[in-house]
Amino acid sequence: MTGAGVRTGPRNSLADVKGLLVGHHHELDGDATLGSGRATGCTVVLAPGGATASVDVRGGGPGTRETDLLDPSHTVQQVDAVLLTGGSAYGLAAADGVMRWLEEHGRGIPMDADGHVVPIVPGAVIFDLPVGDWSVRPTSDHGFLAAEAAAEWFAVGSVGAGVGARAGVLKGGVGTASLVLGAGAAEGVTVAALIVANPVGSVFDPGTGLPWGVGVAEAASWGLRVPDAADLAAAIELGQKGTVLNTTIGVVATDAALSKAGCRRVAVAGHDGLARAIRPAHSPLDGDTLFALATGSRATAPAPVSMPAAFPPDLALLDAVCAAAADAVARAIVGAVLAATPVAGIPSYRELFPSAFDV
């Protein structure tokens, strides 16, 4: 899924974009079931120096906070953090805790000479309420603790906002990926994604059993092979996901310096990657939402490329970042599916397709 000269970042994670940290907080009982026990959490993407941001909402049933603020025509240019959370609309309460943590650390829009700030924390939710006890969902304290835990290294799979996620009939979760771009207008620029995969659509090809976005020719690079027919038949027999409310949410980011309008275009392009790895995507039953962040933290700018006078001077850079955004999102979704572990009896990809790992 990567172009010529493109390589994976050193962590293969969102934190390869300098200026971003990720933290999780969740509650998970080992004996949680559908309807009983604790299985919920949230994930925070922290931008200690602020990040230019926008968003693109494609699903028909989104649960979001502060997305209007991210319209390129609106005044505020940067965000301090992005919340990705379980708990459906209830889970948006976790953003209050993220704001509390940021305020305590003096981060936000400065409002006066006394040091008062207003942190900017957009967020989006997945519907995971049937996994565990319906009444257990992220609170303000969850958001605070996730922000407190934010670091360059973080876990993936059934963690944070991905604890209760289901990807079609499989266990979903948190995945991440990063790409460093090769020669051209964006040489050396990093593009990365962090995704919480909880779609109604399928994440594996019913013809091969491989995750969507991993072709037969690419399987070995993922440590996979085409699963046995018996594994595939058993997975198909599970049918479809048992809930009608779902959603895949995430952040795609770059260390390039982009405007809010540029970030908006990156968020739009990121949804192409979502559609590659989930089929169908953007349904009326999903709330698919991608935030785009640009930290502008890359030490040196890519070499300029001559563009027609009617075009923005950074158009070639933006074009390269958009193409990589789609790849990063698709890779992050595949990574989430492969890293997920069973929760509440929801089987993981590794459980259903053990023969795919006999490489």
CATH number at residue 45: 3.60.70.12
Kindly state whether residue 109 falls inside one of the protein's structural domains. yes
Q: In whole angstroms, what is the distance from residue 41 CA to residue 269 CA? A: 28
**How high is the pLDDT of residue 359?**
58
Residue 145 belongs to a domain: yes
pLDDT at 142 (0 to 100): 98
Q: Distance between CA 100 and CA 92 in Å, rounded?
A: 14
- The residue range of the domain holding 72 is 7-357
Judged by average pLDDT, the poorest of 33-37, 205-209, 302-306, 341-345 is 302-306
Beta bridge partners of 51: 79
Q: What's the mean per-residue pLDDT of the chain?
A: 92
User: Residue range 280-288: average pLDDT?
Assistant: 87
Q: Return phi, psi of residue 318, to 5°.
A: -60, -40
Q: What is the pLDDT of residues 17-61, one digit of tens each?
A: 999 999 999 999 988 998 999 999 999 999 999 999 999 999 888
Within 13 Å of residue 93, how many CA atoms lie on the same side as its CB? 12
Note the pLDDT tens digit of each residue in 76-133: 999 999 999 999 999 999 999 999 999 999 999 999 999 999 999 999 999 999 999 9
Secondary structure (DSSP) of 107-163: -SEE-STT--EE----EEE---TTSB-TT----HHHHHHHHHT-BSS---BSSGGGT
Higher pLDDT among residues 9 and 196, named by residue = 196
Q: What percent of the chain has pLDDT over 90?
A: 81
State the virtual CA torsion across 53, 269, 255, 117 in degrees, nearest 10.
10
Q: Does residue 157 sit within a domain?
A: yes
Whether 154 maps to a domain, the answer reads: yes
Residue 110 domain-assigned (yes or no):
yes
Q: Which of 160-169, 275-284, 305-314, 338-347 has the lowest mean pLDDT?
A: 305-314
Tell me if 322 is assigned to some domain.
yes
pTM: 0.94
Q: How many domains does the chain have?
A: 1
- Give the pLDDT confidence of 187-229 residue by residue, as tens digits: 899 999 999 999 999 999 999 999 998 999 999 999 999 999 9
Q: What is the mean pLDDT of residues 221-246?
A: 87
Domain assignment of residue 1, yes or no:
no
Residue 35: inside a domain: yes
